[in-house]
């Protein structure tokens, strides 16, 4: 174990981080198991190495009901993510992985898309509160891949990408999905839509519909995304929008 409160440990780790920056060329850090040490310690490492980007893995359990599914209200879960960023320094480069959004999306795409509209009408994950500090993802090396600890429903992965690549926050694409699953072209199309229309981490999200079989949202007045099997949504799409990407139970205009 590393004693992060030991001043010598802190000094040597900071020197190592600065060596990685200056000599190797890294410009950002991922803080693994960040709940294993205080945000105050992470702040020391960030302040003294000045990365352009830093993201923390703070993986805690969602609040679950008696049916074994996540509660609609996950405010306590996303508050923990917000608190970490606040303590490390909200004006700096620190962000956290949006595990709240990940957990809700896992269940929502299984016929419960109403979950994607929170009680305040906004996105229910961290992106609904502080999108500029939320790194969204569908799966990572822990949740998917060989470890398979909290995997996204494998037949609905592209719905997950249609969501995170059109919504606010900083989306993260999983290596396995991009290179091993044959999804590169589909993901690329979504990335190109995001890039072409300038969708960014603080883009404005307007949720149009959120039912069991349909989620429809407009982003920055430029992009509309649909998740779910409901096909006939033409009456909900404003004039002038054309389909730019589509796949199994998702479409983007």
The per-residue pLDDT for range 60-99, each reduced to its tens digit, is 999 999 999 999 999 999 999 999 999 999 999 999 999 9
Residues assigned a catalytic role: 32, 57
- Position 247 in a domain: no
- Position 244 in a domain: no
- Position 19 in a domain: no
* Model confidence band, residue 146 (pLDDT cutoffs 50, 70, 90): confident
The number of domains in the chain is 1
Which domain range does residue 161 map to? 58-203
Distance of CA 131 to the CA centre of its chain: 9
- Position 165 in a domain: yes
- Position 170 in a domain: yes
Q: What span, in angstroms and rounded, lies between the C-alpha atoms of 137 and 212?
A: 22
Residue 234 has pLDDT above 90, yes or no: no
Neighbours of 14 (CB within 10 A): 16
Average the pLDDT over each of 78-82, 146-150, 212-216, 227-231 and give the range with the smallest value: 146-150
Q: What span, in angstroms and rounded, lies between the C-alpha atoms of 164 and 127?
A: 10
- Position 116 in a domain: yes
- Position 241 in a domain: no
The per-residue pLDDT for range 153-189, each reduced to its tens digit, is 999 999 999 999 999 999 999 999 999 999 999 999 9
56 CB-near residues (< 8 Å, 6+ apart) = 30, 31, 34, 42, 84, 88, 94, 95, 96, 97
* Model confidence band, residue 145 (pLDDT cutoffs 50, 70, 90): confident
**What was the pLDDT predicted at 1?**
80
List alpha helices for the chain, DSSP H: 7-19, 39-49, 75-89, 99-108, 157-164, 175, 184-196
**What was the pLDDT predicted at 73?**
95
The per-residue pLDDT for range 29-54, each reduced to its tens digit, is 999 999 999 999 999 999 999 999 99
51 CB-near residues (< 8 Å, 6+ apart) = 17, 21, 26, 27, 28, 29, 93
Q: What span, in angstroms and rounded, lies between the C-alpha atoms of 128 and 78?
A: 9
CATH number at residue 159: 3.20.20.80
**What was the pLDDT predicted at 169?**
98
For the chain, the average pLDDT equals: 97
- Position 119 in a domain: yes
Mean pLDDT of 115-140: 97
For residue 215, the surrounding DSSP H or E stretch is: strand 215-219
Determine what percent of the chain is predicted with pLDDT higher than 70.
100
* Model confidence band, residue 132 (pLDDT cutoffs 50, 70, 90): very high
Whether pTM > 0.85 for this model: the answer is yes
Do the beta carbons of residue 125 and residue 98 sit within 8 Å? yes
Q: What span, in angstroms and rounded, lies between the C-alpha atoms of 8 and 2?
A: 11
User: First CA to last CA across the chain, in angstroms?
Assistant: 50
């Amino acid at each position: 174990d590393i004693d992060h409160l030991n001043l010598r440990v802190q000094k040597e780790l900071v020197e190592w981080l600065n060596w990685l920056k200056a000599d190797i060329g890294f410009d950002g850090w991922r803080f693994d198991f960040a709940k294993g040490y205080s945000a105050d310690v992470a702040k020391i490492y960030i302040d003294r190495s000045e990365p352009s980007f830093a993201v923390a893995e703070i993986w805690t359990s969602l609040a679950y009901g008696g049916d074994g599914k996540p509660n609609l209200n996950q405010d306590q879960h996303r508050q923990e993510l917000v608190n970490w960023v606040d303590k490390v320094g909200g004006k700096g480069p620190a962000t956290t992985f949006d595990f709240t959004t990940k957990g809700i999306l896992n269940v929502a795409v299984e016929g419960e898309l109403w979950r994607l509209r929170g009680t305040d009408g906004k996105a229910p994950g961290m992106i609904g509160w502080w999108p500029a500090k939320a790194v969204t993802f569908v799966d990572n090396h822990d949740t998917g891949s060989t470890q398979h600890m909290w995997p996204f429903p494998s037949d609905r992965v592209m719905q997950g990408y249609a969501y995170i690549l059109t919504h606010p926050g900083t989306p993260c694409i999983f290596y396995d999905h991009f290179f091993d699953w044959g999804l590169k072209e589909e993901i690329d199309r979504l990335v190109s839509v995001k890039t072409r229309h300038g969708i960014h981490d603080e883009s404005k999200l307007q949720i149009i519909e959120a039912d069991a079989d349909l989620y429809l949202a407009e982003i920055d007045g430029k992009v509309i995304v649909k998740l779910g099997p409901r096909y006939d949504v033409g009456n909900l799409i404003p004039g002038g929008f054309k389909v730019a990407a589509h796949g199994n139970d998702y479409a983007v205009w």
